[in-house]
């Protein structure tokens, strides 16, 4: 109000119960101090007095720290003479800024906090989301922390392939921020921190999408595969990386791993030379056979790898490996590993591909597992062990149930092109993919032996349809079928060993 009045004292109490008082002063109107949001340890500085003319002066928030003083409240604007004679109160500019506490007990918004979020992990990694607060130099950051569950994780190789994909393809991947492949860190575990890809994985959202968005995914999936096919190497194998004297990444290619791989495994010059697809199969089965005989000399009465080599040679003679080069293959390109982001204009975009751990350079047909979930999601969703792991691939060439699903399949096929259709749909290439998977991981468990037996049987039945000639394994297959009809393990073993 008009006239002389004494400014109110603005007091601020910290969480340590230390008080700070403002100096008294004279001004036109009572001054109400503005209060900062955060409480913390330390005494706020005294607010400055100001002459008020309905000026609201809120104190700036104090910076969190060890007892740092809060910033002074801004002065209120000077009141004009003779106004407000009606007795209205003018708010002055006295204010205090309270200091934020070190322990993070404050009222800041989530955008200004460091946030950890436990996310759904996978079979091989624990996953934690990280948000970092914005700073003067950087906007708010969003990251993923991945911690492998097992000691055999090969993080250096995974980082190499992710960086390689970012440099050589248009496929979106996460940006590696940093990683530690040792346990010499506060986590006591190896870890990787990379950028967080926007969107949701297709496993969660695909069935909820409208038809137009599904068409967009079908088209983008085909384009993504073409991008993989375009990256080629003269030999199959894995991607590794090292740094040169300038810190730049240098990529190199090496043969597939054979585990358990003895330290004294003979170095085969053929592994470093240019190879054909048949060379690759023959060398891998030879390496596995030698490694298993050294590690388990009494556990392999039958030479499964010799029979698998026979299958590879017959596939090559039938022309399956003609015009096949070694291309980049993700090997686990499934909806759960692909993120999609719905934009503000209601369009959808594949925003990133995850889990490149198992990626290799292999025969082109290796990356051609048909994405039948695009046009037959219910079959994909309902897949279970009783139907078999190859159920969707076997039925990929079936006519989709609805006109909309048929359009989805046509869209995908238009993008990848007619020349690639045989790799996706013909049964011999499905068997060739199975053969490669065995060549890559060996015979480590009973399921692998059963898969080998099914492969040999299917191939022996298919080859006469392709070439008119019987497989060299035909008699073995018939004997195996006869033996399987008898529940007596001894009889079965005797028949197999005799063959």
Q: Which residues pair with 361 in a beta bridge?
A: 237, 328
Q: What is the DSSP letter of 196?
A: P
**223 alpha-carbon distance from chain centroid:** 19
pLDDT at 384: 46
User: For residues 11 and 21, is the Cβ–Cβ distance under 8 A?
Assistant: yes
| CA distances from residue 438 to 66, 92, 385, 443 in whole angstroms, order as listed | 61, 80, 19, 7
CB neighbours of residue 407 within 10 Å: 16
pLDDT at 134: 81
CA distance 284 to 280: 6
Q: How far, in Å, CA of 38 to CA of 28, rounded?
A: 30
Q: How far is CA 475 from the centre of its chain?
A: 46
Q: Are the C-beta atoms of 439 and 282 separated by less than 8 Å?
A: no
Q: Which two tokens stand for residue 464?
A: 């006469």
Cβ-based neighbours of 166, under 8 Å, separated by 6 or more: 173, 175
Q: How far does Cα 445 stand from its chain's mean position?
A: 28
Query: What pLDDT score does 424 carry?
Result: 95
Residue 374 CB contacts under 8 Å (≥ 6 apart), including other chains: 214, 217, 218, 221, 408, 409, 412
Between the alpha carbon of residue 367 and those of residues 75, 220, 289, 364, 429, the distances in Å are: 68, 15, 26, 6, 11
**Rounded alpha-carbon distances, angstroms, from residue 454 to 283, 302, 431:** 22, 16, 10
Quick one: tokens of 452?
């080998």
* Region of 468 on the Ramachandran plot (φ > 0 left; ψ -120 to 50 alpha; else beta): left
Which residue, among 174, 144, 150, 151, has the nearest Cα to 162 in the 3D structure?
A: 174
Burial of 267 (0-12, 13-18, 19+ CB in 10 A): exposed
Q: How many CA atoms lie within 13 A of 413 on its CB side?
A: 17
Cα separation values, 344 from 37, 59, 79, 147, 216, Å: 34, 37, 47, 33, 16
- Is the torsion defined by CA of 232, 235, 237, 243 positive or negative? negative
Q: How far apart are CA 282 and CA 291, in angstroms?
A: 14
- What is d(CA 385, CA 434) in angstroms, rounded to the nearest whole number? 17
pTM tops 0.75: no
In sequence order, what DSSP letters do the residues of 19-85 get, joined into one string?
EEEPPP-EESS--PPEE-S---SSPPPPPPP---SS---PPPPPPPSSSPPPPPPPPPPPPPTT--T
- Please report the pLDDT score of residue 182 as a whole number: 85
Cis check for the bond before 118: say yes or no (omega within 30 of 0). no
Token pair belonging to 57: 């002066």
Exposed, middle or buried, 227 (CB in 10 Å: 0-12/13-18/19+)?
Answer: middle
Question: Tokens representing 308?
Answer: 């698998």
Q: Distance (Å, rounded) from C-alpha 443 to C-alpha 24?
A: 86
Q: Distance between CA 444 and CA 258 in Å, rounded? A: 11
Place of tokens 């030379």: 273
d(Cα 286, Cα 271) in Å, to the nearest integer?
12
For residue 118, what are the β-bridge partners? 128
pLDDT value, residue 328: 95
Cα separation, 180 vs 145, whole angstroms: 11
Residue 352's Cβ-count burial label (10 Å; 0-12, 13-18, 19+) is buried
pLDDT tens for each residue of the chain, 499 residues long? 344 444 444 444 434 443 444 444 444 444 444 444 444 444 444 444 444 444 444 444 444 444 444 454 454 454 444 444 344 444 444 444 444 444 444 444 555 678 999 888 777 788 899 998 887 677 678 998 988 887 766 777 788 889 899 999 999 999 988 888 888 899 988 898 999 999 999 999 999 999 999 999 999 999 999 999 999 998 899 988 776 777 677 888 888 988 655 555 666 777 777 889 999 999 999 999 888 888 777 766 568 899 999 999 999 999 999 978 999 999 999 999 999 999 989 999 999 999 898 899 999 999 999 999 999 987 555 544 445 566 678 778 889 999 999 999 999 999 999 999 999 999 999 999 999 999 999 988 888 899 999 999 999 999 999 999 998 886 655 555 554 555 455 555 555 566 6
User: What burial letters (b/e) apply to 236-246, b meaning 16+ CB within 10 Å?
Assistant: bbbbbbeeeee
Angle at 365 between CA 360 and CA 371, to 5 degrees: 95
Query: Which DSSP string do the residues of 109-153 spell out, in sequence order?
Result: -GGGS-EEEEE---SSEEEEEEEE---SSS--EEEEEEEESSTT-
pLDDT of residue 252: 84
Give the pLDDT of residue 113.
79
């Amino acid at each position: 109000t008009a006239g002389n009045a004494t400014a109110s004292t603005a007091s601020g109490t910290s969480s340590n119960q230390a008080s700070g008082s403002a100096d008294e002063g004279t001004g036109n109107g009572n001054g109400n101090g503005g209060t900062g949001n955060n409480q913390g340890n330390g005494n706020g500085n005294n607010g400055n007095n100001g002459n008020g003319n309905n000026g609201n002066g809120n104190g700036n928030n104090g910076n969190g720290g060890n007892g740092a003083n809060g910033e002074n409240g801004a002065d209120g604007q000077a009141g004009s003479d003779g106004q407000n004679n009606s007795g209205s109160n003018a708010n002055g500019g006295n204010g205090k800024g309270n200091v934020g506490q070190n322990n993070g007990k404050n009222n800041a918004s989530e955008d200004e906090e460091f946030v950890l979020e436990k996310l759904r992990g996978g079979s091989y990694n624990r996953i934690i989301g990280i948000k970092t607060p914005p700073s003067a130099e950087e906007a708010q950051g969003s990251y993923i922390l991945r911690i492998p569950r097992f000691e055999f994780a090969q993080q250096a190789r995974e980082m190499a392939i992710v960086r390689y994909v970012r440099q050589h393809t248009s496929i979106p991947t996460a940006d590696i921020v940093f990683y530690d492949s040792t346990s010499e860190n506060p986590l006591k575990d190896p870890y990787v921190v990379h950028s967080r890809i926007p969107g949701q994985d297709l496993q969660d959202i695909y069935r909820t999408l409208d038809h137009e968005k599904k068409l967009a995914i079908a088209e983008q999936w085909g384009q993504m595969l073409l991008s993989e096919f375009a990256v080629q190497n003269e030999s199959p194998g894995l991607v590794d990386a090292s740094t040169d004297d300038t810190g730049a990444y240098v990529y190199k290619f090496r043969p597939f791993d054979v585990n358990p791989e003895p330290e004294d495994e003979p170095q085969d010059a053929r592994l470093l030379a240019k190879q054909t697809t048949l060379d690759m199969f023959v060398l891998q089965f030879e390496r596995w056979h030698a490694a298993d005989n050294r590690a388990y000399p009494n556990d392999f009465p039958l030479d499964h790898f010799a029979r698998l080599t026979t299958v590879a040679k017959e596939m090559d003679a039938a022309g399956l490996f003609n015009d096949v080069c070694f291309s980049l293959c993700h090997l686990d390109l499934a909806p759960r590993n692909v993120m999609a982001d719905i934009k503000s204009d209601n369009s959808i975009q594949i925003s990133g591909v995850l889990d490149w751990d198992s990626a290799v350079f292999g025969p082109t047909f290796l990356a051609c597992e048909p994405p039948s979930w695009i046009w037959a999601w219910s079959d994909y969703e309902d897949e279970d062990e009783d139907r078999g792991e190859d159920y969707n691939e076997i039925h990929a060439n079936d006519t989709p149930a609805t006109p909309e699903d048929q359009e989805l399949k046509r869209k995908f096929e238009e993008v990848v092109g007619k020349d690639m259709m045989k790799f996706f749909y013909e049964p011999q290439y499905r068997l060739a993919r199975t053969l490669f998977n065995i060549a890559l991981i060996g015979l480590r468990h009973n399921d692998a032996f059963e898969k080998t037996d099914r492969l040999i049987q299917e191939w022996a039945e298919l080859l006469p349809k392709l070439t008119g000639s019987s497989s060299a394994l035909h008699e073995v297959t018939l004997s195996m079928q006869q033996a399987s009809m008898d529940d007596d393990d001894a009889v079965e073993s005797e028949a197999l060993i005799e063959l």
